Amino acid sequence: MSSSIPLGRRVAAEAVGTAALVAVVVGSGIQATQLSHDVGVQLLANSLATVFGLGVLITLLGPVSGAHFNPVVSAAAWGSGRRGQDGLSTREFAAYVPAQIVGAIGGSVLADAMFAQPLVRWSAHGRSAGHLWLGEVVATAGLILLIFGLTRTSRAHIAPVAVASWIGAAYWFTSSTSFANPAVTIGRAFTDTFAGIAPASVGPFIAAQAVGTVVGLGLVVALFGRPAAAESDVVMPHDETELAAAPSR
């Protein structure tokens, strides 16, 4: 990878970013159920918090690690970059994914702690049905198409708004409420709250996300063609020069 930022810092950014994302998702879900008994209002509060939180996290940590926060994004970046010298290397991919999963679990525990919930309690919220898996395929395919489509058209700089907007929209138009992220799915199994998912439902959800990744990459090729060079700026460009150019205030 072309980034001059040490791998340790990038891995830390992935862990912290994924932890914060899951804390936002789980914490806002808990808060929503405490403030309202209307399921629609609960989902609205949960989705809005996720949109704003995700946008902020991508903006903040994108210049450090690319702000993947998601194993399927890292896997797609690794697979797309194997043809060139600037893609996510196998070593980097192997470091990113565990950091994302550990971060997601930590974020779930943190959210439970903030709301005086049991720190770890397996979710009883079963989400096992074909239409939910289809929703995950659609949400994940759309996410991959969006991220790599922006990269192909040199518009990765709008990823904070675009990616957050897609996830927010998919909360409402997909049956699964758009997990679209294996690490987040695993993390949400550790909390028996509004945002939780039963451990037995995790495997099929991740399988659907994997299918969605393949579909999304296929759509990228169909719509934008095969890349002439490796795609390294996924989700956001990450380079020391960009950090140095950032406002100091």
Query: How far, rounded to the nearest angstrom, does the alpha carbon of residue 79 sit from its chain's CA centroid?
Result: 17
How confident is the model at residue 53, as a pLDDT?
Answer: 98
Give me the residue label for tokens 């994004």: 73
Helices (H) and strands (E) in the chain, counts: 9, 0
Q: pLDDT 10s per residue in the chain (249 long)?
A: 446 899 999 999 999 999 999 999 999 999 999 999 999 999 999 999 999 999 999 999 999 999 999 999 999 999 877 544 456 899 999 999 999 999 999 999 999 999 999 999 999 999 999 999 999 999 999 999 999 999 999 999 999 999 999 999 999 999 999 999 999 999 999 999 999 999 999 999 999 999 999 999 999 999 998 875 555 567 766 654 333 334 445
- Residues 6+ away with beta carbon under 8 Å from 84: 229, 230
Is residue 171 within 8 A of residue 164, CB to CB? The reply is: no
SS3 92: helix
Provide the sign of the torsion angle of the four alpha carbons 166, 172, 176, 182, taken in this order: positive
What is d(CA 41, CA 47) in angstroms, rounded to the nearest whole number? 10
How confident is the model at residue 235, as a pLDDT?
Answer: 73
- Residues 6+ away with beta carbon under 8 Å from 35: 45
How confident is the model at residue 237, as a pLDDT?
Answer: 62
How confident is the model at residue 228, as a pLDDT?
Answer: 58
Where are the chain's structural domains? 7-231
Q: Is pTM beyond 0.85 here? A: yes
- Residues 6+ away with beta carbon under 8 Å from 197: 123, 125, 127, 179, 185, 188, 189, 205
How confident is the model at residue 63, as a pLDDT?
Answer: 95
How confident is the model at residue 47, as a pLDDT?
Answer: 97
Is residue 96 within 8 A of residue 8, CB to CB? The reply is: no
235: preceding bond cis by omega (within 30 degrees): yes
Quick one: which of 246, 230, 248, 210 has its CA closest to 3? 230
CATH class of 7-231: mainly alpha
Look up residue 209 and give its two tokens: 């996300």
What is d(CA 96, CA 73) in angstroms, rounded to the nearest whole number? 10
How confident is the model at residue 187, as a pLDDT?
Answer: 98
Quick one: which of 69, 82, 207, 208 has its CA closest to 147? 69
